[in-house]
Chains A and B, each alone.
Chain A
Amino acid sequence: MKLEIGNFQVKDVVFGDKTMFKNGILTINKEEAMDFIKEDEHIIDLDIVIAKPGENIRIVPVKEAVEPRIRPDERSVFPGITGDVEATGSGRVHALKGCSVLGVGMHYGSFGDGLIDMGGDGAKYTLFSELINICIVAHTDEEFERFEQQKKNRAIRWATHRFAEYLGNTVKSLEPEEIETFELDPITKRTEEINKFPSVVLVMQPQSQMEELGYNDLVYGWDMNKYVPSFMHPNEVLDGALISGSFMPASSKWSTYDFQNFPTIRELYEEHGKSINFLGVIMSNLNVSLEQKRRSAIFVAQMAKSLGADGAIVTEEGYGNPDADYILCIAALEEAGVKTVGISNECTGRDGASQPLVTLDEKANALVSTGNVSQLIELPPAEKVIGELQALARDGLSGGWAYDEILGPSVREDGSIIMENNAMFCGDRIAGWSTKTMKEF
């Protein structure tokens, strides 16, 4: 399977008369764009705001991030979401690099939403401070969940995917500045030269723990709570087969942007034919009951074994309860003779003294740590807020609170904030971007 991603580097994003991409400048006709997004009648109030790296801007509550893309051959970018269900992972897709479309609540946040600081000390926590963010700031008519801590955020999430594709249209018929090629031969048809390297699978555990549908990650538009582990091609992940859900605390989240650019997949591609033979992705899930967790671990270990994997990397979109799936899966692979490395974050508490993962197993002897979800972060006021700052304190974001007898509320009168890393949007960069680790102090 061969995927070509044609890249267009976005140097600036501005509003103007015509929506187009020229000389690195993405121009957006705001009125037309607003009309397009408002085609969804559930969006009842809307603004589009641009936030650039280094600006003294705080964005919250952020629900989703998507890289703008388009397919020259008319297939939808996110099958099952923005168009018909069709295969992804091969052919050509065009991408606007260096920018993302953010879905931001105009007023209300929810448990899995996060915060992004574009400048100052807070910028170091999230990758999205390094991108030009085209923020859809929206209010919706989803009254049933208005004051719920858990929100599906369907209208805003779908708006980001649709709008990302809309903006991608600007480069549909242009010639990319650079084409990245992702290609793997079928497993049984590989050359001797490749086959001499140890075979490796990537096991991904996307968030799928909400029994009620609508909150989980989707694969080809299918809610992953109703899914058992399958073998997937890494190109499918990079090419829009998966979109992010609306449940996991923000710092442990994989946004759709993460799926589209998944650094661990890219790194495995990088080493393919140099030090490993990258077989592909075992797309697993995260579960609620122990029986479900065990079942998935069995599926994964069996597939890895049958595929002839010598090694595996397991990575989870989450922390806490999902650690049980993560550790069970690593242990099952090790028991099947597959040498395994795990990539995830930890939860050692605000004082750093808690057990780092919910379950531990000595077989998990090769782990990469990307951060501590409960790290306290204190930041000064920002000049401008996109969204509504109070959402961090008021709406039950996983890293915010309305009241704490010692720390006070997350959002202070002067606009300064105190929060847990939990609410930093994709703050632990578990997809593989993280340059953070955890150390004993």
Chain B
Amino acid sequence: MKKAIHYINQFFAGIGGEEKADYKPEIREGLVGPAIALNSILEAEVTHTIICGDNFMGSNTDEAVNTILGFLEDKEFDIFVAGPAFQAGRYGVACGTICKAVKERFNVPAITSMNVENPGVEMFKKGIYIFEGGKSAAKMREDVKTMANFANKILKGEKTGPADEEGFFPRGIRAEMWLKSGKTAAERGVEMLVKKLNDQPFETELPIPKQDRVPIAPPIKDLSKANIAMVTTGGIVPVDNPDRIQSASATRWGRYDISKIDRLESGVYKTIHAGFDPAAADADPNIIMPIDAMKAYLKEGKIGKLHDYFYSTVGTGTTQAEAARMGKEMVGKLREDNVDGVIMTST
């Protein structure tokens, strides 16, 4: 029989609520809490339940993840299930974090469930199967069942359907499929047009994501008095990457003091961006983050001031939501120093 391992938080393990949210990761043989329901429907044996406090996962993420990956190192399992997390934000993020880590390390399918309002959906839907769940534990049975049914398809090697049929949040993967209806593109197109003309509801086959456009700022009147900051998504960091910014799908950013240097030296700075050949940027980091040119402009008096730090993260695979969050955080720091303008370098 195939094997599964289930991740739940301290609350659903019956350990305690908020006061026990710092509970360190633990692995128990057998079934705890929601694992019982999962085991009853899953066509696999749930051999272990992993329990971790939501705050512990949130505040000591690396330690929590590494401990749990360590638990799993010698275990055999075909599928990993977490939650359901409903609308519980920290629990949702924890389920997403651990599912992503387990999938990446052990290459097994990882499945979780949360409510659409849970911030974990936006953060993790790209990498893992997150099923749309209820708002509260009242939906426990249904949500567990949805996950289990899908898990059973995977376990049996059956072909799984598209997101809207199966009930998971779209992972940003679009693939072709033949329509069971056999309806041709011509028929679908004309039918869609007739509905649109008659103001009837219709469904596009390619939803265009809402674009969150930012208006272009008014020009800086006198550059020679302006305080300019440098920001990049090109992944330029000190060689030891002190903020541990990820090489793809970044959720972290850093800022690095350039007040006392004239350029970014190779060997002192490098790129950690995984989306392009790093050779040229490693040989001369200024080609992505042109501190050398900006310092020269500063000396010439072309700009009034160069902000003491440059800011860096990685753009490849990074979600719009994460990028927006990081951008807002950076803006807070830039405002503190009265920065007038930003040069954003990309790759």
Contact = CB atoms under 8 A, between A and B. Distances in A.
Interface residues of A, number: 55
B186 A366 contact: no
Interface in B144-190: 160, 162-164, 170-179, 182-190
Contacts of A357: 206
Contacts of A436: 176-179
A437 B174 CA distance: 10
A381 interface: no
B194 A276 contact: yes
A257 to B, nearest CB: 15
Given A276-B190, A311-B197, A353-B173, 10 more contacts: A271-B194, A276-B193, A340-B193, A341-B192, A343-B186, A364-B206, A437-B176, A437-B188, A437-B205, A439-B177
Given A339-B196, A440-B164, A440-B173, A313 B189 contact: yes
A271 B177 contact: no
A9 interface: no
Contacts of A341: 189-190, 192-193, 196
Nearest to A351: B173
Contact of B208 (A263, A351, A364): A364
A339 B193 contact: yes
10 contacts: A198-B197, A270-B190, A315-B189, A356-B206, A360-B209, A364-B206, A365-B204, A435-B182, A439-B174, A441-B171
A438 B164 CA distance: 12
Given A266-B186, A341-B192, A343-B185, A441 B174 contact: yes
Nearest to B203: A366
A433 interface: yes
A395 B187 CA distance: 36
B210 interface: yes
A378 B249 CA distance: 31
Contact of A263 (B184, B205, B210): B184
A367 B190 contact: no
Contact of A346 (B174, B194, B197): B174
A282 to B, nearest CB: 15
A149 interface: no
Contact of B174 (A360, A362, A421, A438): A438
A360 B204 contact: no
B190 A313 contact: yes
Please indicate which of the listed interface residues B182, B188, B193 has the most CB atoms of chain A within 10 Å of its own CB.
B193
A48 B32 CA distance: 71
B186 A264 contact: yes
A225 interface: no
Interface of A: 124, 198, 200, 263-264, 266-268, 270-271, 275-276, 310-313, 315, 339-341, 343, 346, 348, 351-353, 356-357, 360-362, 364-372, 375, 421, 429-441
Please indicate which of the listed interface residues A267, A310, A364, A439 has the most CB atoms of chain B within 10 Å of its own CB.
A439
A393 to B, nearest CB: 23
Contact of B178 (A124, A271, A313, A421): A124
Nearest to A269: B190
A343 B190 CA distance: 10
A267 B172 contact: no
Contacts of A430: 185
B211 interface: yes
B202 interface: yes
Contact of A433 (B186, B192, B197, B208): B186
A431 B184 CA distance: 10
A429 B163 CA distance: 24
A140 B147 CA distance: 60
Contacts of B162: 439-441
Contacts, number: 156
Given A313-B193, A341-B189, A429-B185, A369 B205 contact: yes
A311 B176 CA distance: 27
Nearest to A441: B173
A122 to B, nearest CB: 14
Contacts of A369: 205-206
A432 B184 contact: yes
Nearest to B181: A435
A90 to B, nearest CB: 23
Nearest to A274: B194
A352 B175 contact: yes
Contacts of B186: 263-264, 266-267, 343, 431-433
Contact of B193 (A200, A361, A439): A200
A313 B185 CA distance: 12
Contact of A439 (B164, B187, B194): B164
Given A353-B173, A440-B174, A368 B208 contact: no
A56 to B, nearest CB: 22
Contacts of A266: 186
A343 B205 CA distance: 10
Please indicate which of the listed interface residues A271, A348, A375, A437 has the most CB atoms of chain B within 10 Å of its own CB.
A437
Please indicate which of the listed interface residues A266, A310, A365 has the most CB atoms of chain B within 10 Å of its own CB.
A365
Contacts of A364: 206, 208
Contacts of B185: 263-264, 343, 368, 370, 429-430, 432-435
A426 B160 CA distance: 27
Contacts of B173: 348, 351-353, 440-441
B210 A375 contact: no
A339 B188 CA distance: 15
B194 A433 contact: no
Contacts of B208: 360-362, 364-365, 367
Interface in B244-264: none
A361 B160 CA distance: 31
Contact of A353 (B172, B176, B178, B206): B172
Contact of A438 (B175, B189, B193, B197): B175
Nearest to B129: A441
Given A435-B183, A436-B177, A438-B176, A367 B193 contact: no
Please indicate which of the listed interface residues A315, A348, A431, A435 has the most CB atoms of chain B within 10 Å of its own CB.
A435
Given A367-B206, A433-B184, A441 B163 contact: yes
A367 B196 contact: no
B190 A267 contact: yes
Contacts of A421: 176
Nearest to A360: B208
Please indicate which of the listed interface residues B164, B170, B182, B208 has the most CB atoms of chain A within 10 Å of its own CB.
B208
A372 B205 CA distance: 13
A125 B56 CA distance: 52
A53 B186 CA distance: 24
B256 to A, nearest CB: 31
Contacts of A360: 208-209, 211
A366 B177 CA distance: 19
